[in-house]
Amino acid sequence: MRAFVMKEIGRVGFMDKPVPRPGPLDAVVRTTAALICTSDSHTVKGGIGPRENLTLGHEGVGVVHEVGEQVRDFRPGDRVVVGAITPDWGDLASQNGHPSQSGGPLGGFKFANSKDGVFAEYFHVNEADANLAKIPDGVPDEMAVYCADMLSTGFMGAENGNIPIGGTVAVLAQGPVGLMATAGAKLRGAGLVIGVESVPSRQRLAREYGADEIVDFTTEDVVERVHELTGQQGVDTAIEALGADATFQTAIKITRPGGTVSNTGYYGEGEFVRIPRIEWGVGMADKTITTGLCPGGRLRMERLLRVLQGERLDPTPMTTHTFPFEEMERAFEVSDKKIEDMVKVLVTFP
């Protein structure tokens, strides 16, 4: 089969690999659609260390090709989505309520990290009964694939944010995760959602997904503007959706005492992320910082698919570019360099 790989830090390309085989509890899926994530770029640039000929990609859907003899609920031909995070559900971390950390910190993050990812004609899924979800009729592949990461991570930002009904929320950065955090905040009942973004096309999408106000950090002071919009109180919840030290500091500054900073960002650079001392109440302002890794697993995917099936949300307006798999190198370049007003790149497979 053909696979698109990280050959070494800073270098990607195609190579041929054997079609994977499932273990007793596992499945092999024939890929039909995938999305490119900024995390793929972080990986290629060395964010998780050196990798050699590792198949990239962690957002994919497809058709079950083969299952292990102990798989009960899935059969060849089933149309499925698999979360970007595929936990080991028997691990102690999973039993303690943190499946994304099974096997160690970020241990549920297997695709394009500890095993080959989904940018290939076929990919392997561990613990199929627990990590696959059947896609309902009426939900197309190009929509369902957003459940794998963008919906799951963005909604996590809202879920971890302890948003009160009618509460105030600021979402810093309106990339795909931030846009889904904005949508998630609206679904959670926020009364005021503030999107922080400078790119006009992303500002427009933010409004479509529920932002009541847009703050452009290139033309105004974010901290001052957010405090103005909240009667000088600060927001109940600030969702950091970029993964930058400066943005994290802003999140602390705009969160009211007793509020929550919900972090979804991937900090791929630097040794430290700083907390501004005074705005943190010198450590005593009752500001909670929550973090998380994209929740995975079958139940999570089924719930997200239900949101799509019930027409609560349509993530496909985020798809600005579509490429066939044979043009993966160009697709990756567009995503990596964020050219041509890119928001999200969809890759289709024969």
**Rounded-to-integer distance, Cα 73 and Cα 233, Å:** 51
Residue 146: C-alpha distances to residues 34, 71, 103, 176, 304 (Å) = 9, 25, 26, 10, 9
What are the start and end residues of each CATH 3.40.50.720 domain in the chain? Answer: 154-291
Q: Where are the beta strands (DSSP E) in 205-263?
A: 213-215, 235-240, 255-263
Tell me which residue of 238, 247, 174, 241 sits closest to 211, measured CA to CA: 174
- Alpha-carbon span 136 to 308, nearest angstrom: 9
Confidence at 287, pLDDT banded by 50, 70, 90: very high
Q: Which residue has the higher pLDDT, 268 or 282?
A: 282
Give residue 269's pLDDT band: very low, low, confident or very high (50, 70, 90).
Answer: confident
Structure confidence by residue, pLDDT tens digits, 180-218: 999 999 999 999 999 999 999 999 999 999 999 999 999
Note the pLDDT of residue 127: 98
CATH tag, 2-149+294-348: 3.90.180.10
Supply the pLDDT for residue 224: 98
pTM of the model: 0.96
pLDDT of residue 348: 98
- Provide the pLDDT for residue 270: 86
Domain span(s) for CATH 3.90.180.10 in the chain: 2-149+294-348
Instruction: Judge whether residue 28 has pLDDT over 90.
Output: yes
Instruction: Please state which architecture CATH assigns to domain 154-291.
Output: 3-Layer(aba) Sandwich (3.40)
Is pLDDT of 47 > 90? no
> Are the C-beta atoms of 252 and 172 separated by less than 8 Å?
no
* Residue 142 Rama label (left phi>0; alpha psi -120 to 50; beta): alpha
> What amino acid is encoded at 57 in this protein?
G
